[in-house]
Structure 1
């Protein structure tokens, strides 16, 4: 994936500072959305950071009093607001002077008044807000989230699992008393229903925010395995311009790779006891370059395997170092080696700015 254009400040020139504000009741997958979206944006080359209100609270309080989330406990309510505002202020400071472009504010933010206050502060600091509300009306998903994630959080260290589930369920009920879904259509927002089952999009503007929405459309919370494999050896190693074919060793590797992946998946499915309807077909993403196409061609003999070719997974143009061994590059371009170590994602060797057309 080629990095998007950046200015000297490190920001994308066509998008200013952006704040993603999470909204929703506990156990609705907000933290999953935050971390997943953060990884995606960093993969795009965007400076992104998650600011978690829950983590701020745990760092400051260590343990939580039993009535801490009781709406009638005004002292605790004021303390929660102070911690949330501190987290928000740190995010804005990072976006203003810390070199960040997208800050993700992971909190509940369940009231319209709270969201309007955050919106005003962000605009005053020249930060573009985008709200993501995670809504789940399926109790089985909420309960599964509580059991798989929440009971293992630091809040419930040493607790009996059933007691932890009951306590967290009570916490959700306390938040429900104040919860107001986003209804202000002047706000830019995305409503994420049942972790991607349905999306409602309102006033989303700009290329980067649109990329986020596209990613959310493909978000899921089901575990799956991703294999990364190199293409097989070519008849001309270390050559980009020649686009060489696989060597015999490369073809042998491709056959072994297919056998390994199929056997590994079968063994894993047997251990986990997956049913037939849960079994997920294998999809192979391969480069459009010749050695990549040939490596993947071994998988096409199986009608149950989908092979797709994407230029985004092609080898990057190596420029002047094409055809050189690592030792030769280190000897001839020591300064470039150092630059690559400092910023490996964005570094390109001389005359390597553009991809070769395929």
Structure 2
């Protein structure tokens, strides 16, 4: 487990845990529903090849599933997105980020790692033979892997998925040890929209084979090639490979790097980059050096445009993100929803402690010389809402403060300035609807968490784009949404994430997930607690299962 850097400020105490991105799928609130019983073909066709590897159930209950008719019409045909590139060039990072972004936009997608199929069929074979077959037996192995992959993709698009992902196998000592997968209630059978293939695809003949498969099924196909010359980026991509990739488990760092270099040469000798002259009928995006330059060819449709827009804003630096709520405000102590109240004495005490911590960050110690270190962006940026309590909390930090209307708290509409007891007494139906579906419940003339997710998309796009260290001072609902995105929590869990006052969360991205640190400033608050609230979900949890990455 990685260990977070010790804070230079003595007052706060911190709890650190390393996590990986969990497998999640969005079960949309659909007006067009397709239903299949457990006795139908779902139980026999949906990812049956990987059930043995993953230790998942052989069948599952048939539930209603579908996508909203309007979004389905916009999305068009099922889309296969295939990564292209040499090992250690960030393919898995792109696949993981893209999946998280699409799920956040309520687009059902899944990542398929070819190496999982290879480990299932013949775990004794080295990974490189899947891409560069050397013998007849190895060519046959490659064909078997692709055949199983194509069957699973057909099942995903036609029938949906059940509550595990092909990248969620438990890593044991042999790299393929089976284990239980977390049972998340909202993981139900949802027809797939986007399948992401995470493997090298470095030969034109293999890309043509994939093109023919998609054409025969009437699937759209889009390639994403990542080309990296920057040695620092390459080192960033392969950092911790001996801890996260089953092919390198139980190796020293030196042995893992040596094996990786041999693995790289196996691919490099036969590498054929995407060419808009030779492969003019193929749609693709080329990303050079983590987004410093991009080339788009033959792109078409809403889905491909949305993905390209997102991917062209990405950067792959690993600077941390700090997120906190404002200090305690008067309405917090009274249980009043919304409003624009000022900080209490305890709230100002937290603002002082928070500012002391942020002002001692290395990125701020030499602020004047760090202005141009991040492509013209300051080394640290503070983002806050336009309300008094966030402005007062951020005012003591010695860094530029950017005010976002989008970071304003969830709009309670007619109930703004009211208490939850008032709603329970005078509007019992609203209170009931909110308890039944807190994520989708919309306040009269106000917003729901679902609306808030949409409102925060510009913030998330800028968060992915900026190369500065970002410090966000916001509100409970907004913080839950941002934490759910960054930590890849599902929408049903989002409204119950526990984000108490006077805690600062440091989130550091990694190739295999993230590290989250809870910095407790030990300043008490008198925040009103609702007795009927469902038990909250911690944003700091024990380490989850490491996914199988193909790199």
- Give the match for residue 228 of structure 1: 323
2: CA distance, partners of 1:287 / 1:268: 22
Distance 1:130 1:294, change over 3 A: farther
Equivalent pair of 2:242/2:253 in contact (CA under 8 Å): no
Matched residue, 2:155 = 93
Does 1:257 pair with 2:351? Answer: no
Displacement of 1:324 in angstroms is 5.1
Where in structure 1 are there 5+ consecutive unaligned residues? Answer: 270-275
Corresponding position: 1:107 with 2:199: yes
Instruction: State how far apart, in whole Å, the 2-side matches of 1:23 and 1:148 are.
Output: 22
Partner of 1:352: 446
Q: 1:6–1:210: structure 2 CA closer, same or farther, 3 Å change rule?
A: farther
Q: CA 1:169–1:128 in structure 2 vs 1: closer, same or farther (change >3 Å)?
A: same
Match for residue 37 of structure 1?
Answer: 98
- SS class of match (1:283): strand
Distance 1:350 1:156 in 2: 55
Deviation for aligned residue 1:25: 1.6
* Counterpart position of 1:72: 134
- Equivalent positions of 1:202-213 (< 5 A) are 202-213=297-308
Deviates more, 1:203-212 or 1:44-53: 203-212
Cα deviations by residue, 1:147-189 (Å, 9 ceiling, x for unpaired):
5325752112223433332222222222223321111232221
CA 1:24–1:31: 2 relative to 1, 3 Å:
same
Q: How far does the alpha carbon of each residue in 1:123-169 deviate from its partner, in whole angstroms, 9 at most, with x for none?
A: 44343322100112345644554453257521122234333322222
Q: Within 5 Å, give how 1:1-358 maps onto structure 2.
A: 8=31, 9-10=66-67, 12-13=71-72, 14-16=74-76, 17-65=78-126, 68=129, 71-98=133-160, 99=190, 100-138=192-230, 141-142=233-234, 145-146=237-238, 148-149=240-241, 152-183=244-275, 184-237=279-332, 238-240=336-338, 242-263=339-360, 265-266=361-362, 281-299=379-397, 302=398, 305-319=399-413, 322-323=416-417, 325=419, 332=428, 333-340=431-438, 344=439, 346-353=440-447
Assess if the C-alpha contact under 8 Å between 1:27 and 1:150 holds in 2: no
Query: Does the C-alpha gap of structure 1 residues 96 and 286 become closer, same or farther in structure 2, counting only changes over 3 Å?
Result: farther
Instruction: Say if 1:330 and 1:337, in contact at 8 Å, map to a contact too.
Output: no
Is 2:79–2:220's contact at 8 Å kept on the other side of the alignment? yes
Q: Answer yes or no: is the 8 Å Cα contact 1:64–1:155 preserved in 2.
A: no
Number of residue equivalences: 338
Decide whether the 8 Å contact of 1:151 with 1:164 is kept in 2.
no
2:286–2:294: 8 Å Cα contact kept in structure 1?
yes
1 CA distance for matches of 2:91 and 2:67?
27
Q: Distance in 1 between matches of 2:435 and 2:195?
A: 31
CA distance in 1, matches of 2:218, 2:79: 9
Task: Check 1:328–1:81 CA distance in 2 against 1; reply closer, same or farther (3 A cut).
Answer: farther
Asked if 1 retains the 8 angstrom alpha-carbon contact of 2:337 and 2:419, the reply is no
SS in 2 for 1:236: helix
| Mapped contact 2:331–2:337 kept (Cα < 8 A) | yes
| Farther off after superposition, 254-263 or 28-37 | 254-263
Q: C-alpha displacement at 1:352, in angstroms? A: 3.2
Counterpart CA distance in 2 for 1:142 and 1:250 is 44
The 8 Å contact of residues 151 and 161 in structure 1, kept in 2 or not, is answered as no
Q: CA separation in 2, counterparts of 1:123 and 1:311?
A: 45
Structure 2: give runs of 5+ residues left out of the alignment. 1-25, 32-65, 161-189, 366-371, 456-551
**1:92–1:122 CA contact under 8 A, matched in 2:** no
Task: Name the counterpart of 1:273.
Answer: none
- Which of the pair has the greater relative contact order for Cα pairs under 8 Å at 6+ separation? 2
CA shift, 1:53, in A, is 1.1
**Cα deviations by residue, 1:83-142 (Å, 9 ceiling, x for unpaired):** 134224323422333123222111111222322332333344343322100112345644
The structure in which a higher percent of residues are helix is 1
Shift of residue 320, structure 1, vs aligned partner: 5.5
User: C-alpha distance in 1, partners of 2:150/2:364?
Assistant: 43
TM-score (norm 1): 0.79
What is the deviation of 1:7? 5.3
Match of 1:272 in 2: none
- CA–CA distance in structure 1, aligned partners of residues 378 and 318 of structure 2: 11
Q: Report if the CA contact (8 A) 1:88-1:105 is conserved.
A: no
SS of residue in 2 equivalent to 1:227: strand
Aligned CA distance change for structure 1 residues 285 and 147 (closer, same or farther; 3 Å): closer
